[in-house]
């Protein structure tokens, strides 16, 4: 449970590699018990940020605070082993010549904890990650998912102040990766451990995060709950990176500041209503240019027009069956739009209508 106090704080954190600003002066607070996911493409700065928190990289600017104490600046850095952080790597990093018990107990043995305490805490950690009864096996006798659970147990057995995970599921096959997402989420909720997680997989981020931090070129594009990241993106980068997206460029024809809506004129048909942040809507004037993010589920096909939004003629260029839905590529005046429908009960020529609650004005 998130209690509101800051477990980790990044203040103007910066790291440069030559002329590359890998992390470019970012600010971030993570509350105690919160699960935060750093999401973005390769080279966006997410792994550099995580490794700076872990103590493997010294910042070139700013500072990192853990439980209110400064643990890293550009001049001083607390070594990794003194930060009391649990780390789970992409490649598991379990020792093949040690049993599951020996792998998990290693940190406690190094700290010279009493044998009974070690045994109790190891068995508890194995129970949490659903590996009870496998303590005497070697990693080579385990599946990839089980090896990843060993790495998790080893990270949590010492009861760290915070858990750091660097793409921990990327080496698993698709089915196991999906299963482990939910197991990780359940584990985080059970032990209520503050978690900082790095991934480039947007579905992973949506499942695991209390908040998602979307990064690009060393900067933070948006920090928000998963639903807000997907439905209310702050920038076009966020809208394009997370999920399928259609961007409509237009101009403001009218605003409804009380309802947080904008009527947008555009080249594909009559003006339509879209929603947006009230502070952004309040600052828009008639004739101003705007961009609108339209998710596939915001486009109704052959449905009744609602909320005064017009119907637009479209042609179905292609369709793909995805099991529980059809993915459509629509041609509207020479422009391709993506939408998804539960069933294909229409021909090639259709009318589409944009749901004003799901169309979002980007600042």
Q: What percent of the chain has pLDDT above 90?
A: 76
CA distance 269 to 310: 8
In this structure, are residues 47 and 166 in contact, taking their beta carbons and an 8 Å threshold?
A: yes
pLDDT in tens, 66-124: 999 999 999 999 999 899 999 998 877 788 999 999 999 998 998 899 999 999 999 99
pLDDT in tens, 123-166: 999 998 889 999 999 999 998 888 988 999 999 998 899 999 99
Task: Report all structural domains of the chain as residue ranges with CATH numbers, in order of start.
Answer: 6-236 (3.40.50.300), 244-362 (2.40.50.140)
Instruction: Using a cut of 0.85, tell me whether the model's pTM lies above it.
Output: yes
Max avg pLDDT among 62-66, 164-168, 309-313, 345-349: 62-66
Residue 254 pLDDT > 80: yes
Q: What does 24-58 look like in DSSP terms, one character per residue? A: EEEEEEEETT-EEEEE-STTSSHHHHHHHHHTSS-
Beta bridge partners of 361: 292
Other beta carbons less than 10 A from residue 304's beta carbon? 7
247 or 1, greater pLDDT: 247
CA-based nearest residue to 302, from 358, 244, 343, 273 = 343
How many CA atoms within 13 Å lie on the side-chain side of 8?
27
Coil, strand or helix: which one is 292?
strand
The band of 204, judged by pLDDT with boundaries at 50, 70 and 90, is: very high
pLDDT, residue 3, reads 65
């Amino acid at each position: 449970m998130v209690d509101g106090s800051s477990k980790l704080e990044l203040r103007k954190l910066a790291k440069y590699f030559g002329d590359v600003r890998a992390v470019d002066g970012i600010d971030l607070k993570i509350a105690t018990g919160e699960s935060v996911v750093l999401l973005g493409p390769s080279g966006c700065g997410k792994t550099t940020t995580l490794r700076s928190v872990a103590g493997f990289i010294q910042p070139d600017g700013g500072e990192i605070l853990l439980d209110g104490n400064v643990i890293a600046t550009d001049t001083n850095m607390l070594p990794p082993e003194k930060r009391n952080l649990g780390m789970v790597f992409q490649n598991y990093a379990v020792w093949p010549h040690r049993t599951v018990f020996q792998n998990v107990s290693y940190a406690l043995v190094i700290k010279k904890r009493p044998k009974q305490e070690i045994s109790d805490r190891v068995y508890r950690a194995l129970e949490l990650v659903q590996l009870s009864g496998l303590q005497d096996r070697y990693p080579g006798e385990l599946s990839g998912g089980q090896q990843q659970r060993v790495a998790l147990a080893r990270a949590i057995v010492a009861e760290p102040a915070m858990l750091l995970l660097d793409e921990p599921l990327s080496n698993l096959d698709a089915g196991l990766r999906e299963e482990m997402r939910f197991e990780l989420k359940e584990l985080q909720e059970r032990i209520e451990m503050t978690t900082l997680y790095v991934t480039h997989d947007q579905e992973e981020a949506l499942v695991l995060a209390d908040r998602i931090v979307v990064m690009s070129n060393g900067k933070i594009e948006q920090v928000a709950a998963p639903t807000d990241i997907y439905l209310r993106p702050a920038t076009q980068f966020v809208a394009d990176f997370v999920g399928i997206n259609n961007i409509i460029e237009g101009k403001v024809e009218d605003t409804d500041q009380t309802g947080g809506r904008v009527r947008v004129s555009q080249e594909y048909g009559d003006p339509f209503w879209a929603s947006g942040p009230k502070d952004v809507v309040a600052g828009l004037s008639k004739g101003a240019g705007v961009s609108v993010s339209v998710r596939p589920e915001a486009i109704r096909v052959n449905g009744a027009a609602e909320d005064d939004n017009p119907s637009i003629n479209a042609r179905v260029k292609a369709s793909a069956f995805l099991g529980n839905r059809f993915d459509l590529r629509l041609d509207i005046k020479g422009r391709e739009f993506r939408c998804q429908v539960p069933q294909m009960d229409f021909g090639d020529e259709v009318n589409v209508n944009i749901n004003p609650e799901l169309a979002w004005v980007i600042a």
